[in-house]
Structure 1
Amino acid sequence: MASELRDLNDIRVSFTPGKPFYPYEQLLAVQPASSCTLLPEPYQYLMTSPTSPIRDFYPVKFDIDMEGKRAEWEGIVKIPFISEDRLLAAARSVKQEALTSEERRRNAHGDVLVFQHVAGRHEAEHCESTLPRWGATVHHAHSSCRHVPPPPPLPPAQLGFRPALVKGTLTGKKNPPGFPTLKTMKLVGAELKMAGVTVFGNPSKKESLILTLPDIHQVLGESTDASAVSSMIGERVYVKWPYLQEAQIVRVSDKSQDLSATGARQMPKEEADNWANLSSRTRNVFLTKQGVETGPLPVMLHVKACTGYVRHADGSVVKRYKDEEAPYPLQARTPPRPHPLAAPGAAGAAFLARRRGAVLRQRPRPPAGFHDPDEPRPIDLQEGVRVLFLGQEHYGCVATLLPDPGRGVDAHGRRLLGLSAGGAPGARACVRVAPARHDAAGAAKRGRQVVREYPIQYMPSGVAARALRVNPRLLGRVTGNVWVGDGDNRVDVGLAVKNAKQGLCVPGLAAPLHDDSGWAYSQPLLDLVAEYRRRFPWVLSTLESSSEHRLTAEMLVPASVAATASERSAKLSEVTSWLKGLPTAKRPLVKTGVQIASDKALEILLATMPPLLPRGAGSFLPVDYENVAAPLLLPPYDPSRPLSALLGGQLEHTAKIGLPVPGTPVCQSPSQ
C-alpha cells in the first residue's frame, strides 16, 4: 500500500529479545496430533490426552476455507493460534529424567552448519544416503561443511537489528537490471483517484495512487500517427516496466494503418474499429493492473517479448522471442540506446532530443560484479557431463564426455579436446554413448504427427450453448466457481474448470479465445454439463433464473426439492460429493497458455511408443566416439533458459545416477 510508505523515517523499529524454541517445543507448535509419534513418549500425551493443558491446540475436526481452490489440501485450515506461554509451560512440565540420553541430545541446540561450494571437494559427512533404496549417495558434492557454534546472546544494550541499508546496497538507477525502480522512467506525476485498480483479483473500492506517464504529444510532438515512428520497427526495446523485459518491435499501428517490415497496410473500417477497442483495452489494462495512466493511445507498438537464448547446431547463440505479439504504449517503453531517425529534419531532430531526455531512458546496465541477465551464460561441458548425442548412429542417445585420450590426437593428427566452457563450434570431444532404444528420430516424428492429427477440438461458448440448448450466461457461470452459503459454511457447486480473474483453466475442457473475447469448451465438457443437468436439473434451473452472485441454500434449493434446512444441506452435500467424484475434479487449474495432448493422442502414443532395448545380451554395451564436433552434442536443460519441446517429440532425462530415461512431452507451459 502506498499509504504505508509515508513517514518511514519517523518509524522506530524495536524488538523484544527472546529465546529460540527447543526442537521438541517447535514440534509441539507446528505438528498435528496425528504426528505425535515424532516426539518422545513423555511429550505425546500433551497432544493426545483429554487432560492435557494444551489439548485445544490440536483439534481433530476443523473447517477448511477453500476460497476458489479445488482440492482440500489447497485450502486454508482454520485452526486456533497457539499461546507461546501456555505451550512452553506445558513442555517444561515434562521431566527430563523421563527421556533417554539420545532423546535429550535431540532436544539440544546444535552447531550451525555452513556449506560452501568447493570444486572437486567431497563432503562425506552429510552425503551418505539414509534411504539407499530410494536415493543414492552423493559421491561428488563439490562442497565443504563447517560446524560453527551458535552466536552467543547479545548484550542487553546492543542492537541485533538495525533498520538501515547494508553498505554497498544499490538503489535507484544503480539497481541491478530488472530490479523495479521508478527511476528508469520519467513520470509526469502521481495522484490519488478512484480507478478500480485490481488488488488480489478484485477491483479496489478506494482511492489508488496512480502514476502518470507523459502524454503522447510530449513524445511525438504534433504528428501522432504510425508513420512518425515507423523507423522503430525491428528495434529492441524494454517493456513491462518497472521490471524491464527485452522485446522486439515488429509492428506499429494507428487507427488507420498498420506498418511492418514488409510495408504499410491501410485498415478497413471493421479492423479500425477493433483497433480502437484494442487501444482502449490496453490503456485500461495499464490503469487497472499496474496503476499507470498512459493517456490516449493514438499510436501503439506491437512487440514480441524475449524469452532467452537458443544455441544453434553451428554453435551460434541467438535470442529467442515469443511467437505471440502484445500491444504496448509508445511512451511506456525504454530503448536500449538512442534511436536514430531514418528521416532527417528539424522535426526528427526535436523528436530525437526529446527521446534522449528522461522520458525514454536506456535500460540500466549492471554494475561491476553483477551478471547481466541479457548475456548468454556459457555451457559447462566438461569431463563427466551427460549430453544428448545427435550423430547419425545412436541419434537421441545419452552420451558422457570422456577425458582426452593419452596421445591427445586423432588418426589425422588433430588434437582431441574436451569441449571448453561455452561449447565452441570448432571444439572436438570424446564421448561414450549408451544405446538405449531404437529409432529415436522416427519416434519423435511419429509422436508429433499423432498430436497434430488428434488435436483437442474447442467450440466458442455461443456454439457450445446452442448445442446444449442453454443460455450462454448459464454455461459461463456453471463452468466456473458458484459459491453457495449454507449456514456458517460455503460450498462450491460449479464445475470450476476456469477462473478468468486469475487466468486459470483446466486444459482439455476449457480455453480462452485468442482475442480474449470469451471462452471455448470441448465436447467432454459439454457432456459433463449435460450430465450435471440430468442429475441435478434444479441447480442449473436456479442458476439460469437468478442473477444473484451470492447465493444461499434457500435460494438455490427449491422447496419442492428440500423443505427444511437439514434437507437442503443434504442436497448440497449430494451435489458436492458428485462433483468431487468426477475425474475432472482431480485435474488442476493451470495457466491458460498451457497446451496438452488430447486423450486420443495419448492413447495412440502409449500404444506406439518405442520399447527400451532388452537388458542383457550386450544391449547396453557403450560405444565410444572420438573427434565429435560440438554441434552434435546437445547440452542438458538449463533452468535459466527457456525449454522448447514440441508436444509428441522426444526428451531424454540425463540423470547423473542410473540409466537415461526417455520421455514424450504431452504438456507444455508457455514461456514466462
Structure 2
Amino acid sequence: MGVPKFFRWLSERYPAISQVIAENRIPEFDCLYLDMNGIIHNCTHKDAGEDATFRLSEEEMFLRIFNYIEHLFGKIKPKQLFFMAIDGVAPRAKMNQQRARRFRTALDVEKARDKAIKDGIEMPKEEPFDSNCITPGTEFMAKLSQQLRYFVNKKISEDTEWQGCEVVLSGHEVPGEGEHKIMEYIRNAKAQPQYNQNVRHCLYGLDADLIMLGLLSHDPHFCLLREEVTFGRASKTKSKELEHQNFYLLHLCIVREYLEMEFQDLQSDGALNFSFDLERVIDDFILMAFFVGNDFLPNLPGLHINEGALANMFGVYKRVLPTCEGYINENGVIHMARLRSLLEELSKLELISFENDVADEKWFASKQMEKHLADRNATKHRGRKNTHITMSSFQRDLWKQKIRPYVSNRSREALDLGAQLKAADRKFVQDLADAMHLQWSTKEDDNGERRLVLAFPARGSGDDDNDDEEDDEDDDEEGNLAAWRVIKSYDKAQIVDVTTEDAQQHYEKLYQDKYQGWKTKYYLQKFPEWPAASFDREQTMLCENYVQGLQWVLFYYYKGIASWPWFYGYHYAPLISDVTKGLGADLNFKKGQPFKPYEQLMGVLPDRSKKIVPKVYHDLMTNPSSPIIDFYPRDFELDMNGKKMDWEAVVKIPFIDEKRLLAAMAGPNELLSDDEKARNGFGVPIKFTYSPDVDYTYPSSMPGLFPDIPSCRCIENIFDLPDVEGLEYLSGLTNGALLNVEALAGFPTLHNLPYTAQLVEGYGVNVFQSDSKNPSVVVTLTDTNMRTSIETWKAKLGQRCYVGYPFLQEAKVMKVRDELFTYELAENGKDVIAKDHSNREATEFAREAEYLESWYAKRLAVTIGQVECLVYVHMLKGLIKTEEGALIKEYAENPSLRNTYASQTIVDEVINEDERFIEKAALPIEEEFPVGTRAFFLGEYAYGRPLEIIGHIYHKAEVVVSIPKTKEQPFAKQLIHRAERANPYTPSFAVAKQLGMHPLVLSKITSSYQVMTSAGLKLNLGLNLKFEGRKLKVLGYSRKSHTGWEFSALAIKLITDYMLACPDFFAAIQREPQRSEVTETDLWPDQGVASQRIKDIVAWLKKQETGKFEKVPLEAEQLDSDAVMELAKAGEQVLQATQDADVKKLRGVPRTAILKPSDAELLLGNQKFSLGDRSSESAERQRRYC
C-alpha cells in the first residue's frame, strides 16, 4: 500500500496515535528493532531525480549510517535486545515490486542527469551512487556488513549503554526481508513458555506494512518509530539532517483502541451470532488492507486509500460480519465462504465505479429516466399542480370508456370495475380516485372475488339551514373546478405501455449487459494478450492467482514464508466482483528455496545498473543475442491505473522466467572470482555480547579513517532464533497482557478519562499542516463537571498529577486559575492564597482556555468542553540525590514544554508508575559504596579526581585518591580568547559599509541567492553563510547577536574574494537590491553572456567548497576545527605533564563528596558549562563518528 497515503489516512482518522519524541518523555523499551534499509537509503542518496549533482563518498555514507543507528539507539535505549535487520534475498513474490522500483529508479536518475547536463549544470567527476546497489550480493552491501560489525564491536566495547543488551545483526547475507526477519524473531519468542506478555517493542521503519505487522503481533506494548512525515510544500522544504529531524512514536495501543471504537456497533447485544473479539477484528482488518495493495499484490480496481477505500470496507465489514458464523481471517488462514460474503458485498463498490464511468452515456441517462417513470406508476398522483401523469393503454381505455363518463355524469350509482384488474391497474384506479375525491372500496362477490368499486361521496342531509346550503353550493363550485383540472390532466396523460415490472426487468438487463461490457473492456485493456477463445479460463486463472496471493501474504505475515518461488504473475488485479471465481484455488504451496544473491540481482536490476553485478553477467543484460535480453527492456510503459502520483504508476516490464534465468546464468557462474563467489552465498545472523573477560585488538574496517579497537571486549556468535519445535505459535492477546489504564508506564490510553466516540464526516482535523477532508473519530470527554471545579483543584495544590492527555507526563500542581482568580499555596505549604486577575490576566486566561480547547479539537479530534479552570504545573524533571543519599523527585518549570493545562484533561493517578522515577530511601553508605567501588572525588581538595573506596567508619568512607604530582596549569581559556581575537566578528552594517555594498545585497549574497536560468532551473549563487529560517549559522564565519548578524574576518575575506572574482555580478545585483525574483538575463541582458557567466560563478563557488562549512544552531557555542585542534594539542601536552600521580588516603569522606558514574545526572544534572571549562567524564557518553 502507499506508505504516505496509508499513514496519512490512519493519522487523520485516528488523530491521537502519534507522539513526538522528547527527552525522557517516552516509555522504556525492552526491544528495539531497526528495519535497516530505510536508514541505508536515507544516509546514502537523495530521492531519484532530486539532485543530479549530489555525491557522497563511501566513507561519508558509512559515517552517516553509524550516526543514524547511534541516534536511534540513544533515543530508545533498549534494555534487553537491539535487533538490526537488513533485507536479504526476498521471496519471489516481492521481487516483482523490487524489479519495478529499480527499473523506474534507474530511468529517473538517467533522465535527471540528462536534464542537468542539458541545462548546463556542471556534473561532478565522481560517479553517482546507484541506489540499486542496496540489494543483497553487491560489493557495497558486503562492505557495509564489514563496517557494521566494526561499529557494533566498538560500541559494545566502549559504551556502557550498549553493554547491557544483546545486539543482533541480520545482514544482507541472511535470506528474507528485514521486517519479516524481525517478525520471525517476535513470533518465535512469543511461542516460548516463559515469554513476557508485556514485553515493550519499538520497531523503526518507514514501510506502512510495519503497522500491520505490529498489529498482528497482538502485543499491546508496541510502538513504531519513524521520522516526522510532512505533506505538500513542507515536505519539500524540511531539512533531512539528523540533528534537525523530528521523530515520532506511533502507538499501536492507541490504534487498537480506535479500532475498537470503529467497530463498537458490533459489540452491542445481539449484533453477532458469536462473541466479539477485538483481536480477531484486527486480524480481519489486516486482511482487508490487502485489497488496497501491498508489496506482493496490486490493489483491487477502484480501491484507493485516498478515495476512502478502507473506510468503505469498514462499512461493508460491519454489514457482512453479522451474517457470518465467525471471523474471516482465522489466525492467518482465510475462511473462504466468509471471504465470499465480504467480496459479494464489496462488489457493490464496483458498481459505483461502473456508474461513474458511464454517467455521461446516453443509454444510462435515458434508462435512468425510464426507470424513474416506471417507478412513478406505483406512486400516488394526488392532482398536484403541473404533475405529469403516465398510464398504460389499458388504463387509458379504462379511463376514457368507464371512469371519465362516470365522473362527467356524476352518477349516483356506484361504478363496479370488476375483479380482474391487475395490481398496477388497481393502484392506478385508487390513485385516480384519491385525486378526484372519489370513494373506492373492494367488495367480495358471491364467488369470493374482490371487486373494485368507485362512488361519489354521500351528500349532506336536507335538514341544514339556508346558510349551509349556500356554503355547499360554493364548495361544489370549487370542487367542480378542481375535478375538471384533474380530468384534463388525465386526458393529457402520457401513454407508457410497460408495467413497472417489465420496465425494471428491461432496465436491469440493459444495466447488466453494459456492466458486463464494462468489465470485459477492463480485461481487454489490461490483459490484451489473452486469447479470445480462452478468455474465461484466463480470467479464472487470474482470480485463482490473486486468491493464492491473499493466502500467501497472510501465511507470510502470520507463520512465515509458505513458498519462496510463488509470485503473483500479473501487473493488475481482477475486478472485485470476479475474485470469487478464484476461491477454489490450489493453496498447497511448495516451500522451495530462495534465490541466490546474484540470481536476485539479475532478476531485479535493469541494464542501466549492470555495473553493480559481476562483469561475467553483463553480456546477458546488454547483448542483443542474449537468451534473456527481453528481461531488460530499455523503454517501458508506465500506467497510472487510476493513481495520481507518478511513483504509483504500474511499471509494465516482463516478469522473470526463473528457469530461463537460471539456465542463462549457469555458464557465467563458472567464471566468477573467489570474492564474487563468496558474495553469492548465504550467511547467518550474528549476536554481539559484551564480556569483561576478553581483551583483544579489533582491526579497523577502514584504516586511515577509523582506528583499531585496542581493547575490544565484544564476542561474536551465531544468533539462533528461539526454538519452536514442539511449540505452537500464539495467536491473539496473551494471558496477562496489560491493557488500557493498566498498561505499563508511558504507553498512552484514551481510557484514562471517561469519553464517548463517534465517526464524524468532514470534521477537519489538522494533523499535517492542513485541514483534513476525511472523516475522523472524534473523542468527547464526559463527566467533566467535577474535574473543572475550581474548589476541586484548590484542594490539589502541591499534589502530583499527570498532564498531556493521552500522552501522560507526571507533574506537580503549582497554581490553579479560573476567569477571576489565581490560587496558589502560601509559603507554609498549607494555606491557599487567592489573587484577583488584572484585565490583562483575565484576557490571558480567556486566550489560553480558547487555545487549549481548539488545540485538542483540531490536532487530536478530542472535544474537551468549555475550559473553566486552568492548572499551572511544574513538570517532573527527574530524580535528585539528597545529601543523605535518598532519591527524591525534582519538579521544575520546563521552558520547552507547556506548563498550563485544562483541568478536565488532567489525570489524578495511574496504575503503573514509571520505574525510572520512583523515589527511594537512602542506603547505608556501606551498601551504596562497598569496598572496591571506583568513583570520583567531589571535595574541594582534588575535585574530579578518581578514587577507590577502601573502608567505612562512622557512616563515612575511607578512600584513596589519585592526585597529580604536578599541578595542572590553566590553558583553555587563553587559547579560546586568542582564537577569538584572531578571527573577530563585525556587525553586518559595518561590513556592508567597509565593502561599499548595499546592506540588502550583503544579506542576500551571504545567504541563499536564487537565480533562474533560461532552462527554468533555479541556481543558488549565494555563499550560504547564514540561514535565518532554519536558525543556523556557519561555524567560524557568522553568528547572530541581539543586534543582528555579524561576520568574521574569514567571512569578510570570502565575500571580498567573491566580489573581486565576479565584479559584474555584484554590480548587477547592486542596481536593484530590492528585486526578489531574478533571472540570469536580469543580471546580463545578453543570453549568451548570461549563460557563460552563470557557469563561471558556479565553478568559482564550487572551488570554495562552502557546502562543507559546518552549520550549527544560532544558540550553539562552539569552536571551529582549527581552535579545537590547537586545544587538543595543548591538552595532550598537559596530560603528559600530569601523568605522574600520588595516591592519597583520606578518612571521613561523606557520601556527598563521592560520585559514582551512574549518579552523575542525579547529583550534577544542573551543572552549567562554558567554553574552555575542564571536565572529567563521569559517565559513558555516546560518541558520534564524524
Give the alignment's TM-score, normalised by structure 1: 0.57
Q: CA deviation at 1:331?
A: 1.0
- Larger helix percent: 2
Say whether the 8 Å CA contact 2:1021–2:1098 is kept in structure 1.
yes
Q: CA deviation at 1:197?
A: 3.6
Partner of residue 815, structure 2: 251
In the alignment, the residues of structure 1 paired with residue 596 and residue 1068 of structure 2 have an alpha-carbon distance, to the nearest angstrom, of 57
Q: What is the correspondence of 1:301-450 to structure 2 with a 5 Å cutoff?
A: 301-320=871-890, 321-324=892-895, 326-335=899-908, 362-365=909-912, 372-375=915-918, 387-399=935-947, 401=948, 404=950, 414=953, 426=955, 428=957, 430-433=959-962, 435=964, 438=967
**Cα deviations by residue, 1:46-89 (Å, 9 ceiling, x for unpaired):** 999999999x99x9xxxxxxxxxxxxxxxx9xxx9999959995
Give SS of 1:651's match.
Answer: coil
2:869 aligned with 1:299, yes or no? yes
2:735 aligned with 1:205, yes or no? no
Say whether the 8 Å CA contact 2:815–2:823 is kept in structure 1.
yes
Q: CA deviation at 1:274?
A: 3.1
Structure 2 counterpart of 1:390, one-letter code: L
Give SS of 1:110's match.
Answer: coil
- Return closer, same or farther for 1:645/1:269 CA change in 2, 3 Å cut-off: same
Structure 2 counterpart of 1:332, one-letter code: T
In the alignment, the residues of structure 1 paired with residue 764 and residue 1093 of structure 2 have an alpha-carbon distance, to the nearest angstrom, of 38
Q: What is the correspondence of 1:660-671 to structure 2 with a 5 Å cutoff?
A: none
2:693 aligned with 1:171, yes or no? no
Q: What is the correspondence of 1:21-170 to structure 2 with a 5 Å cutoff?
A: 22=596, 85=656, 89=661, 92=665, 95-99=668-672, 104-105=677-678, 107-115=680-688, 122=693, 128-131=697-700, 134-138=707-711, 140-141=713-714, 145=717, 148=720, 164-165=732-733, 168-170=736-738
Pick the structure with greater CA Rg.
Answer: 2
Give SS of 1:232's match.
Answer: coil
Partner of residue 1151, structure 2: 630
Corresponding pairs, count: 535
Structure 2 counterpart of 1:652, one-letter code: S
Give me the CA root mean square deviation: 6.5
Say whether the 8 Å CA contact 1:397–1:435 is kept in structure 2.
no
In the alignment, the residues of structure 1 paired with residue 958 and residue 604 of structure 2 have an alpha-carbon distance, to the nearest angstrom, of 53
Say whether the 8 Å CA contact 2:821–2:835 is kept in structure 1.
yes
Which of 834, 838, 852 is the matching residue for 1:264? 834
Identity over aligned pairs, percent: 18
In the alignment, the residues of structure 2 paired with residue 35 and residue 380 of structure 1 have an alpha-carbon distance, to the nearest angstrom, of 62
Give SS of 1:279's match.
Answer: helix
Say whether the 8 Å CA contact 2:853–2:866 is kept in structure 1.
yes
- Return closer, same or farther for 1:135/1:28 CA change in 2, 3 Å cut-off: farther
Partner of residue 750, structure 2: 182
2:1064 aligned with 1:497, yes or no? no
Partner of residue 268, structure 2: none
Q: What is the correspondence of 1:212-231 to structure 2 with a 5 Å cutoff?
A: 212-214=779-781, 218-220=785-787, 226=790, 229-231=793-795
- Return closer, same or farther for 1:579/1:620 CA change in 2, 3 Å cut-off: same
Say whether the 8 Å CA contact 2:1021–2:1097 is kept in structure 1.
yes
In the alignment, the residues of structure 2 paired with residue 84 and residue 633 of structure 1 have an alpha-carbon distance, to the nearest angstrom, of 69
In the alignment, the residues of structure 1 paired with residue 959 and residue 606 of structure 2 have an alpha-carbon distance, to the nearest angstrom, of 55
Give SS of 1:98's match.
Answer: coil
**Cα deviations by residue, 1:140-178 (Å, 9 ceiling, x for unpaired):** 55x7845649999x9xxx999887445554332232111
- Return closer, same or farther for 1:159/1:192 CA change in 2, 3 Å cut-off: farther
Q: CA deviation at 1:373?
A: 3.2
- Return closer, same or farther for 1:643/1:294 CA change in 2, 3 Å cut-off: same
Q: CA deviation at 1:619?
A: 3.6
Partner of residue 797, structure 2: 233
In the alignment, the residues of structure 2 paired with residue 32 and residue 645 of structure 1 have an alpha-carbon distance, to the nearest angstrom, of 58
Q: CA deviation at 1:540?
A: 11
- Return closer, same or farther for 1:116/1:301 CA change in 2, 3 Å cut-off: same
Say whether the 8 Å CA contact 1:429–1:630 is kept in structure 2.
no
- Return closer, same or farther for 1:432/1:587 CA change in 2, 3 Å cut-off: same
Q: CA deviation at 1:318?
A: 2.5
In the alignment, the residues of structure 2 paired with residue 41 and residue 381 of structure 1 have an alpha-carbon distance, to the nearest angstrom, of 64
- Return closer, same or farther for 1:375/1:197 CA change in 2, 3 Å cut-off: same
In the alignment, the residues of structure 2 paired with residue 596 and residue 567 of structure 1 have an alpha-carbon distance, to the nearest angstrom, of 43
Give SS of 2:1152's match.
Answer: helix
**Cα deviations by residue, 1:346-386 (Å, 9 ceiling, x for unpaired):** xxxxxxxxxxxxxxxx21316xxxx7233269999788876
Structure 2 counterpart of 1:184, one-letter code: N
In the alignment, the residues of structure 2 paired with residue 331 and residue 364 of structure 1 have an alpha-carbon distance, to the nearest angstrom, of 19
Q: What is the correspondence of 1:503-542 to structure 2 with a 5 Å cutoff?
A: 522-523=1045-1046
Structure 2 counterpart of 1:363, one-letter code: V
Structure 2 counterpart of 1:311, one-letter code: K
Structure 2 counterpart of 1:334, one-letter code: V
Give SS of 1:176's match.
Answer: coil
Structure 1 counterpart of 2:708, one-letter code: G
In the alignment, the residues of structure 2 paired with residue 619 and residue 319 of structure 1 have an alpha-carbon distance, to the nearest angstrom, of 40
Give SS of 2:786's match.
Answer: helix
Say whether the 8 Å CA contact 2:754–2:783 is kept in structure 1.
no
Give SS of 1:653's match.
Answer: coil
Say whether the 8 Å CA contact 1:498–1:589 is kept in structure 2.
no
Say whether the 8 Å CA contact 1:300–1:328 is kept in structure 2.
yes
Q: CA deviation at 1:330?
A: 0.8
Say whether the 8 Å CA contact 2:692–2:713 is kept in structure 1.
yes
Partner of residue 550, structure 1: none
Q: CA deviation at 1:259?
A: 2.5
In the alignment, the residues of structure 1 paired with residue 1123 and residue 692 of structure 2 have an alpha-carbon distance, to the nearest angstrom, of 48
Q: CA deviation at 1:631?
A: 2.3
Q: CA deviation at 1:314?
A: 4.2
Q: What is the correspondence of 1:571-582 to structure 2 with a 5 Å cutoff?
A: none
2:1125 aligned with 1:597, yes or no? no
Which of 550, 557, 563 is the matching residue for 2:1079? 557
Give SS of 1:178's match.
Answer: coil
Partner of residue 17, structure 1: 563
Structure 2 counterpart of 1:17, one-letter code: S
Q: CA deviation at 1:310?
A: 2.5
**Cα deviations by residue, 1:285-315 (Å, 9 ceiling, x for unpaired):** 3333333232332321112222322234542
- Return closer, same or farther for 1:643/1:539 CA change in 2, 3 Å cut-off: farther
Q: CA deviation at 1:269?
A: 1.7
Give SS of 1:205's match.
Answer: coil
Q: CA deviation at 1:238?
A: 1.1
Say whether the 8 Å CA contact 2:1084–2:1090 is kept in structure 1.
yes
- Return closer, same or farther for 1:10/1:283 CA change in 2, 3 Å cut-off: same
Give the alignment's TM-score, normalised by structure 2: 0.35
Say whether the 8 Å CA contact 1:250–1:260 is kept in structure 2.
yes
In the alignment, the residues of structure 2 paired with residue 564 and residue 86 of structure 1 have an alpha-carbon distance, to the nearest angstrom, of 58
